[in-house]
Structure 1
Amino acid sequence: MDTIKNAANYVSESIQGTGATASKEANKNVAKDSDAKVTTRAQAAGDAISDKFDEQTHDRKADVYKEAAKH
């Protein structure tokens, strides 16, 4: 039962990590957009940093669940 739970958690964390990656990339593009307002670009840069942190957190959790599901 724990193996199934760990596998489900792995999938969930992987999906969330992928979402954070997509959000990070979108925010990076806004931050680089010279046509956007400076405040918008600054906010997007901050959001990209936050998304990077979320991405790494989800990826680490996914790795833990993946290893736990193997045992």
Structure 2
Amino acid sequence: MDSVKQGANYVSEQVQKATSGVSKEANKEVAKDSNASIGTRASAAKDAVGDKSKETGHDAKAETHKQAI
């Protein structure tokens, strides 16, 4: 039963990792957009860094759950 729970947690972390990755890429595009204001670009760049951190964290948690299975 524990392996089922670990499997579900693994899938959940993979989904969250993917979501963070999509958000990171979107923020990177905004940060590169020369038509956006400097404030918007700076905010998007900061958010992209945060999303990368979340993506890495979810990947590590997913690997932990995978190993527990």
For the criterion TM > 0.5, the same-fold answer is yes
> Separation in 2 of the partners of 1:29 and 1:62?
27
- Which runs of no fewer than 5 residues in structure 2 stay unpaired? none
* 1:24 aligns to 2:63 (yes or no): no
After superposing on structure 2, the runs of 4+ consecutive aligned residues of structure 1 that deviate more than 2 Å are none
Note the alpha carbon deviations across 1:25-65, whole angstroms, 9 max, x for none. 00000000000000000000000000000000000000000
- Which runs of no fewer than 5 residues in structure 1 stay unpaired? none
- Give the paired residue count: 69
> Separation in 2 of the partners of 1:67 and 1:14?
14
> Separation in 2 of the partners of 1:63 and 1:14?
9
TM-score (norm 2): 0.99
Percentage of matched positions with identical amino acids: 55
**Paired residue for 1:59?**
59
**Paired residue for 1:3?**
3
Supply the AA of the counterpart residue of 1:50: G
How many angstroms does 1:12 deviate by?
0.1
TM-score (norm 1): 0.96
Matches within 5 A, 1:31-46: 31-46=31-46
